[in-house]
Structure 1
Amino acid sequence: MGSNRRDKIKMTPAETADFLASSYKVQVATVGKDGEPHLVTMFYALLDGKIAFSTYKSSQKVLNLRRNPTMTCLVEDGDEYGELRGAALYGQGRIIEDPEIRLQVGAVVGARLAGMPVPEMGAPIDPEFAAALEQSLAKRVIIVMEPDRVVSWDHRKV
């Protein structure tokens, strides 16, 4: 693909932000101990405009990030070639153990998983839902993608 075509399908920063806000599944790659990629799909929320998800403290991705914070995230959509769009984010995975942030991200992701209305990030959380969430999140941390570089595409533009 020539650079001229590449420029035509690239999303603007605002389009990329809207795309990430409208999606909820991300493919996350971390670096394993022997250098191999470790790839998983996670449900995410946006925390200050950045991809954030919860995972168990003892998960392979957390072990990998503690050893090497390099992380890549891919959010993509579309079934036909002319509909394909996506964003690949390259950077660092930051591990957050703050219970308040864990609860906020957990409320958004948990509501999606449960098929409930999704609360706005930072909005008050129903106390009963919060109590259940705190129990289910007790052994989890939040990972936030801190991107250094974002590559995007939207084939619908051509």
Structure 2
Amino acid sequence: MAATQQRRGRKIMMTPQELETFLTERRTCRVATVSADGAPHVSPLWFVWDGTSLWLYSLTRSRRWADLRADGRVAVVVDAGEEYGELRGVELSGRVEFIGESPRTGEPCPALDRPEELFARKNFGMPEMFHDGRHAWARLTPDKITSWDFRKLADL
């Protein structure tokens, strides 16, 4: 996992184990990209975390995918909670890498064996991934990770 030093909010940042558990259990993230004309775009997406990288499985005919292809810089937020004292989340940022064919049809790609197994089990309850020829993989190995857990405020 990327080493991150948070200057502000250290008291409410997640421990490495809390971060790992949170990213493993959550299903939906919000992906922020920038279009070629500079317009920001944020969209929800299912993901999987492998302990090092966040794997994004996106429709290839989406604005998000076009933005990422044009400029691989991305920020992703995974969050939870409704009331202020329940809020917790993680922001990950960096550049994505595109892994496997686009769109994904299931051609052998050893780099995708683990993320596809994790994704299929987490999101579909299936032992292996099915490929619809409309999605593809982008991997974010974050340069920066920032986390917060407002539930810790009660302990301060």
Question: Which TM-score tier does this pair reach, normalised by the shorter chain?
Answer: 0.7 to 0.9
Q: 1:44 aligns with which of 43, 47, 51?
A: 47
Hey, what does 1:78 align to over in structure 2? Answer: 81
**Aligned with 1:147: secondary structure?**
coil
- Tell me the SS of whatever aligns to 1:44: strand
What is the deviation of 1:76? Answer: 0.4
For structure 1, the 5+ residue unaligned runs are 120-124
Q: Indicate which of 131, 136, 143 corresponds to 1:141.
A: 136
Contact between 2:52 and 2:141, CA under 8 Å: does it hold in 1?
no
Alignment-derived partner of residue 151 in structure 1: 146
Q: Output the CA distance in 2 between the equivalents of 1:4 and 1:90.
A: 17
Structure 1 residue 9, shift from structure 2 partner: 0.5
What residue is the counterpart of 1:18 in the other structure?
Answer: 21
Does structure 2 retain, via aligned residues, the 8 Å contact 1:77–1:86? yes
Identity %: 28
AA paired with 1:151?
Answer: T
Per-residue CA deviations over 1:76-121 (Å, capped at 9, x if unaligned) read: 011111111000111112211254455654454445544x36x5xx
The 1-side partners of 2:85 and 2:8 are apart by 13
Q: Would you say 1:30 and 2:33 are equivalent positions?
A: yes
Provide the alpha-carbon RMSD of the alignment: 2.5
Cα distance, 1:49 vs structure 2: 3.1
Q: Which amino acid aligns with 2:93?
A: Y
Measured in 1, the distance between the counterparts of 2:18 and 2:151 equals 13
- Give the count of matched residue pairs: 141
Cα deviation per residue 1:10-52 (whole Å; 9 max; x = unaligned)? 1123321221111111000111111111111011112353211
* Equivalent runs, 1:53-132 vs 2, <5 Å: 53-97=56-100, 99=107, 100=109, 101=111, 105-114=115-124, 116=125, 119=127, 125=128
CA separation of 1:111 and 1:13: change in aligned 2, threshold 3 A? closer
Say whether the 8 Å CA contact 2:30–2:76 is kept in structure 1.
Answer: yes
